[in-house]
Amino acid sequence: MRDHPLVQLTLARMREFYREPEAIFWVFGFPLVLAFALGIAFRNRGPGELKIAVLRAPGDSVIAAALDRSPALAAAVLDSGEARTQLRTGRIALLVVPGDPLVYRYDSTRTESRLARLEADDALQRARGRPDGASVRDERVTEPGSRYIDFLIPGLLGMNLMGSGLWGVGFSVVQARTKKLLKRFMATPMRRSHYLLSFILSRLLFLFLEIAALVGFGWLMFGVGVRGSFGALALITVLGALSFAGLGMLVASRARTIEAVSGLMNLVMLPMWILSGTFFSYARFPDAMQPFVKALPLTALNDALRAVMIDGTGLVRLGAPLAIVAGWGAVSLGIALKIFRWR
């Protein structure tokens, strides 16, 4: 059994991988570093105090004191030159110019500035004696699942499946080709299907480690849970890994040099890094682009992963994205087998 060619080929794949410290880092370490850094940078701490300023003029101190009373605002009194610079560079969100009428100077395209305008106006109107019409009470919630890190972890999972699928398969195949190892294998009775299957098998074995590392990290560090079933998550990741292994096979099917295959990989991956909603929602792209964006395998995979991890959606309702993922894999592998350069 251990001497079955498929076992030996798969073992060779795995040994070559885990004896390469750089590969370990890029597959396991890098996504964790990324998740950690982004999780810290975008942790939910609320908007905090908005920095605003009052222009130095008669009556400025009264206005500044009124503004400071609002917990959402931090007001300073500035000379006009300094105020203009700080407003332009975004260090203050709003400038209040004393006078009658009061002037609010701000950039209305900035969310922060519009928020500052509302808060400042509210504080000043109250200070001048405007009564509140209704009594209100704030109830704050921080729902796990709605934070940025909850959005990010499934995206990183998808991106990692893409990266290790393409690099893991594509790089090894082309390396074997440039070193004439592929040709040497062709000089033995080895079955070609065993060679290709060994890539898929070793991918699947490492896959579980990759997922466990990232999902476990998200859970321990940030409390990112999996709302759906682990079975569904496993199935989707396996499908994603197979699909990207197929794409990797296609990318590597003809290339004769590492440089050529690296270029092709980046050509394939770069659009998906940007478009497929790994770091931010692809809904931000114009409507005209949406059909194209949604047809990308990483978009579909990310959608399916988020549906299971965040919304707890069952597999049955994920037919469409999973079909896209599977379709990409099957078509890529089909073409790859037709045009594969075996020497």
The CB-of-16 to other proteins minimum distance in angstroms stands at 5
By beta-carbon proximity to other proteins, the closer residue of 18 and 292 is 18
Q: Strand locations in the chain, DSSP E?
A: 50-55, 73-78, 94-97, 103-105
The CB-of-115 to other proteins minimum distance in angstroms stands at 56
Terminus-to-terminus CA distance in the chain, angstroms? 28
Q: What does each C-alpha distance from 257 to 28, 186, 252 come to in angstroms?
A: 26, 19, 10
By beta-carbon proximity to other proteins, the closer residue of 184 and 317 is 184
By beta-carbon proximity to other proteins, the closer residue of 43 and 192 is 192
The CB-of-176 to other proteins minimum distance in angstroms stands at 8
**What does the binding site for other proteins look like in residue numbers (CB under 8 A)?**
3-5, 7-9, 11-12, 15-16, 19-20, 179-181, 183-191, 343
Return the H-helix or E-strand segment holding 339. Answer: helix 319-339
Residues paired with residue 105 on neighbouring β-strands, in sequence order: 95
| Residues 10 and 195 sit within 8 Å (Cβ to Cβ) | no
Q: What does each C-alpha distance from 307 to 94, 151, 323 come to in angstroms?
A: 39, 10, 15
The CB-of-248 to other proteins minimum distance in angstroms stands at 19
Nearest C-alpha neighbor of 285 from the set 272, 267, 302: 272
For 133, the token pair is 């019409």
By beta-carbon proximity to other proteins, the closer residue of 230 and 342 is 342
3-class SS at 334?
helix
By beta-carbon proximity to other proteins, the closer residue of 15 and 69 is 15
Q: Sign of torsion, CA 279 284 286 289? A: positive
By beta-carbon proximity to other proteins, the closer residue of 131 and 189 is 189
By beta-carbon proximity to other proteins, the closer residue of 5 and 225 is 5
The CB-of-341 to other proteins minimum distance in angstroms stands at 13
For 331, the token pair is 């078509």
Q: How many CA atoms lie within 13 Å of 22's alpha carbon, on the beta-carbon side?
A: 2
Q: Sign of torsion, CA 224 230 234 235? A: negative
290/269 Cα distance (integer angstroms): 18
